[in-house]
Every structure is written in structure tokens, then in C-alpha cells.
Structure 1
Amino acid sequence: MSADAGIVIEKGISPEVMGIDLGGTAIKLGRFSPDGKCHHSLSVETPQPATPAAVLGVMVDAIEQLDPDGKCVAIGVGTPGPVDTGSRVAKVAINLAGWEDVPLADWLEDKTGKPTILANDANCAGLGEAWLGAGRQFDNLIVLTLGTGVGGAIILNGELFMGRTGAAGELGLITLDLYGPECHSGNRGSLEQFVSVQAIRRRTGQEPEELGHMAKAGNRQALQFWETYGHQLGAGLASLIYVLTPEAIIIGGGICASAEFFLPATLAEIERRVLPVCRPGLQLLTAQLGNQAGIAGAAKLAWQVVGAKG
């Protein structure tokens, strides 16, 4: 089989690719076949300080450990920050020391001999959900991850949309309140400043998990908090729906453990704010892949490099 990128896979050999999720505390890796099955996975600690050279060394060692026979034909990597339009350079990697314009794809190709592609980690998580998770029935969807920050991904006509510069899909940075709290991006009142873990801590002095347990126990204040949270999330999503008119919105991230307490309010807010003609059949779903979404999406990118259809 001859691939679009010039890769040749010998007959009789079942090809695999590797998906890698580079995080501030751990690097997760997985080997995937074209049907999306993960045959082997591995997690290693991110070196501290996480300089580019140190991360490269650990990543190469982990790749050799996970694929000692060299069966993988391409590598996809999700990085915690934007990449360039060619999906070759990590422009910035949030929470990693010294990362600015790092040509990680070139470095990995030089060390492994395998074609490599990069994408933002939230984009990879979204692509993973679109390929193997809650979004696999849809061609047009939004994936929003609610965690320490708020990440996102846009899938249009079955393809990851990265925009002209490769930095599209920063859904958590849309403005919700003109005079709201300052955001690390330089914005004020961004959606992230209302629905992230850090925002919840700032507003309540408590952890989302604690508020979830309180809500399960019937605590009135916790239930009221989650209802307000749901309305704020819905208001932010309303703006995105008007622009993208997706078939589905998938909500992921750790805060989703309390989805039962805020998603009804989120849906009600969407229905209140968005014209029915702009949301026909819209589904609001929770993510299915958990912390495996990133490596799955990175693997899907790698299959696109190979030219195989997953």
C-alpha cells in the first residue's frame, strides 16, 4: 500500500501508528491500528525541568520501549500549546520550560525515522472523541474540555479545523463578560474565567470534586452553584453555535464528573439564546474517552499522514 506521504507498507504487515500526548506531568503514548484499536500504551513522567532537549530524550526512549520492533509507520503528537500551520513546530508549550518555536516534528523524525505531525493537545482530544468517542456519529461538532483551563476543538466536515495560523479552536478564550476577570491570554472575562477549575476555586474556595460530592448529598448551595455554572457555560456555547452550527457539542475534562448537575441548565440556556433554525437536532453529550482522547486523536493525525483511513 502506497501512502500519500510516500510511505510504503509491506504486504502482509498490519501497520500501526503512535499517538503521543505531551503533558506537564506525564507523557502518554499509544500504538493504534487503522480501526482505532489501541494495542499497547505507556505513560512516563515528564522530566523536570521539562526543557525541549530533556523531553525529546524521554520521548525517544519511550517510543523505543513501546515500539521495539519499529512496527509503527508514523507518529502524532499533541502538545500543550499552539503549533505552526505546517504542524511541525511547537510555537509555545504551556507549563513546559523553555518551549518557544521548538521544531519537535523534525527532531522526532530525525531520531526515529518516522513521519511526525504535531497538533495542540486539546485539538487532539477533540479529534480522538470525533474518531472513537462520543462524536463518531457526527461530521460537524465542537469539543470543549473543562479542566485547569478550557480547551477546545472544532471538527468541520469530519476534519480538524486549525485555521489560517494553526491556532484556531481556542474556544475557552471567547469573551463572556466585557469587564470580567483578567485572562492569561490578555483577554478579560473569557469563558475560561467562569467555567475552569481555577475559576471555580477563585469563586468558591472549593474544588470541583468537593462541590460535586456536596451536590450529590443534596447541598443547596452546591446545587445552586452548578446551576449557575451551567447557565454560564450555555451562554458561552451559544456564541459558538451561532458561528459553527454544529450537530453536537461534546463536553469533556475533569469537571464533567458533575455534568448531571450543570448540563440541564446548559441546555436550557442554549435553547433560550439560540434560534431553533441554528440548532436543529443539536445534541449535548459528555466525552467518552477520558484521558485516552489525546493519544487517540494524535494517532488519528498520524494516520492522516500515512494516508490510511481509520
Structure 2
Amino acid sequence: MSAVIGIDLGGTAIKGGKFSLDGICLAEKSVPTPQPSTPTAVAEAIANLVNELNQDRTCKAVGIGIPGPVDGSARIAKVAINLNGWQDVSLADWVEAKTGLPTTLNNDANCAGLGEAWLGAGRDRQNLLLITLGTGVGGAVILNGQLFTGHYGAAGELGLITLNPDGPPCNSGNNGSFEQYCSINGVKRISGKDPGELGQLAQAGDAEAIAHWQTYGKLLGAGLTSLIYIFTPEMIILGGGISASSEFFLPAAIAEIERRVLPSSRVDLKLTKAQLGNNAGMVGAAKLALEKISNILDN
């Protein structure tokens, strides 16, 4: 039985999964990310993990999700956040040379979006957005069932759109980006509390915490408004750690969207939580590999 491998490269761990072509997880393993996490050491660790998962030689391709942007060919890691010395790393070439398997890359948010579209909350939808609400605000765009990455592979930075032109500075060079209001640091800046603590207080019925989450929901809804007008998705999937408290902010976000977005641009739109949790990136990377096989066969 043919299979593919999905790799989720993180700053502390590398997760790998072997999947059948219809999405059944056949094997899974996690190994520590080498420290220091130099490109050579990480490529070696990924190749070893792939070869271990492919002992029966049934795997046909490898997909890798990385914490940063890739080039338009989906072969070079332009930068990898929280890894040492990563700049224009030919990771796909290295892994192919060590495993003999066709390899493709994408950033971890895009992989998470692919994973949710394939086997998660969006598996019955063709047009959707994934928004990851965590240390930053990331995203992925799925249009007509395909991941949209733009001309040079850098599209889908949904957290960097402008929410308030006079707002706090963003590492991207923008001011008042969506990320500055809806990330963990945004919650801390506005409420003075970590999202986890704020969620616990809201669960306990704390009125001030609940009010903060309602404010967060309004900001989230306002940010999503611009994206809805551009993409008119069937579904917006919310992932990342902050989504754990979605019961407290989702109603306010939906109300804000309904107030700001014309009905014709939000027909049957559904906002929902991600389903795959920390496995979304690995699953999506496997989907990348599956698409790599399809492209090879088509050509």
C-alpha cells in the first residue's frame, strides 16, 4: 500500500507521520529538534525520521512544514523562526538526497490549513481560511480546494493586514496589524493577563475577564471582515492556543462580522474551531506530499 510522510518541524520537536493516500495515519513519531538547530543537523534528523517511517519502502513523497516562509518553488526555506542559522536553506534537496523521496516544503500555518481542509474541520469545504491565534496570528488560504500561496509563495500572511494604522508597531514593519491585537501579546497588552489565565477567569464567571474576551471578539471580527470581503470563504477555522477560549469571544466576533459584512459576502459562512490540534501541521505536510505525487504523475 502506497503512503506519504508529513513532517512538522518545530523549535523543540520534529513530528513525523506516515499516512495512507486516503488519510489514515499508519505510524507516527516525534524526535527532539537538534540543539543547536543548524540546517545540517536538522536535515539529518528529518532524513533519519523519514527513513525510519519508511522502513517498508512504501512511501512515495515527503512534505515538510517549517516555521517560516519558503520560496516559490517550495524547495528552499527562506528563514526558519527560532532555528539557528537558517537563511535560504535548500532543505528539500538535502532531504531528497538522504531519503531518495521527492520532497516539498511549505510554512507551518499553510500546512495546518491544508491539514484542517483535508482531514479536519474543513474537510467538506472548498473555500476556507485558517487563522492561527497564538504567539503571532498566522493563516492559510484554501481556494477551490487548493492552497493559495501567491506568485512567490508568500501569500496568506493573514495576521499582517492592518487593523489600526496608528496602532502598535509590528515586527513586519506595519503598525496596528491584526496580529498586534489578536495574538497572545495583544491579549496581554489590552487585558494585562495571559490568555490562559483570562480563560480560566472567564470559566469561573469573572465579569471583567468575560468583558475582555468580548472586546477581543470584536477586534477579531473586525480583522476577519477584510479577509471575508476578499475571499468570501465558506468557513473560517480558528486554531492556536487562544482558540481554547473561543466560547467567550466567538459570539462577539460573529456579531461584528454580521454588522460589518454585507450578507452577499458571507452567505452560509461558518466560524468554527480547528479539530486537529497540534497534529494539523503534520497532517497538512502529508497532504503536501500527496499533492507532490499527483503533480509528478500529471507531468
Common topology (TM > 0.5): yes
Instruction: Give the match for residue 23 of structure 2.
Output: 36
Partner of 2:181: 194
**2-side partners of 1:199 and 1:283: how far apart?**
25
CA–CA separation in structure 2 for the residues paired with 1:95 and 1:201: 22
Aligned-partner Cα distance in 2 for 1:264–1:305: 39
Match of 2:120 among 133, 139, 156: 133
| More displaced stretch, 257-266 vs 92-101 | 92-101
Instruction: Tell me how far apart the structure 2 counterparts of residues 268 and 204 of structure 1 sit (CA, whole Å).
Output: 21
Residues in 2 aligned to 1:114 and 1:61: alpha-carbon distance in whole angstroms: 13
Give the TM-score normalised by the residue count of structure 1: 0.93
Corresponding position: 1:114 with 2:101: yes
- 1:147 and 1:25 mapped to 2: Cα distance? 17
Name the SS for the 1:86 alignment partner: coil
2:191 maps to 1:216: no
1:180 aligns with 2:167: yes
Total equivalences in the alignment: 296
Task: Give 3-state SS (helix, strand or coil) of 1:119's partner.
Answer: strand
Q: State percent identity of aligned pairs.
A: 62
> Which residue in 2 is equivalent to 1:237?
224
Deviation at 1:69, TM superposition (A): 2.4
TM-score by length of 2: 0.97
2:262 is the counterpart of 1:266: no
Cα distance in 2, alignment partners of residues 161 and 24 from structure 1:
25
Hey, what's the Cα distance between the residues in 1 that align with 2:34 and 2:167?
Answer: 36
Q: Residues 226-267 of structure 1, C-alpha deviation per residue, up to 9 Å, x if partnerless?
A: 000000000000000001111111111111110000000000
Q: Distance in 2 between matches of 1:49 and 1:269?
A: 45
> What letter matches 2:244 in structure 1?
A
What's the offset of the Cα at 1:274? 0.3
**SS at 1:181's partner residue?**
coil
- Match status 1:294 vs 2:294: no
Residues 81-103 of structure 1: per-residue CA shift (max 9 Å, x gap):
11111111011111111111101
Match of 2:11 in 1: 24
**Distance in 2, Cα, partners of 1:149 & 1:265:** 21
Instruction: Name structure 1 gaps, 5 residues minimum.
Output: 1-13
Could you tell me how far apart the structure 2 residues matched to 1:94 and 1:256 are?
Answer: 22
**Structure 2: gaps spanning 5 or more residues:** none
Q: Distance in 2 between matches of 1:82 and 1:132?
A: 24
The equivalent residue for 2:45 is 58
Note if 1:105 corresponds to 2:92.
Answer: yes
1:281 paired residue number: 268
Partner of 2:54: 67
CA–CA separation in structure 1 for the residues paired with 2:6 and 2:36: 23
Residues 138-171 of structure 1 show CA distances to partners (whole Å, capped at 9, x for unaligned) of 1011110111111100000000000001010000
Q: Secondary structure of the equivalent of 1:300? A: helix
Matching residue within 230, 237, 240 for 1:250: 237
- Please give the alpha-carbon distance, in whole angstroms, between the structure 2 residues aligned to 1:189 and 1:129: 28
Shift of 1:208: 1.0
Tell me the secondary structure at the aligned position of residue 94 of structure 2: helix
Q: Offset of 1:61 from its aligned partner? A: 1.9
Q: What is the deviation of 1:65?
A: 2.5
2:147 to 160, 171, 191: 160
2:76 to 70, 89, 111: 89
Secondary structure at the counterpart of residue 285 of structure 1: strand
Shift of 1:43: 1.1
Paired AA for residue 168 in structure 1: A
Letter in 2 for 1:162: T
Partner of 1:8: none
- The residue that corresponds to 2:192 in the other structure is 205
Q: What is the alpha-carbon distance in structure 1 between the residues aligned to residue 164 and residue 101 of structure 2?
A: 46
Moved more, 136-145 or 55-64: 55-64
Q: Separation in 1 of the partners of 2:267 and 2:51? A: 48
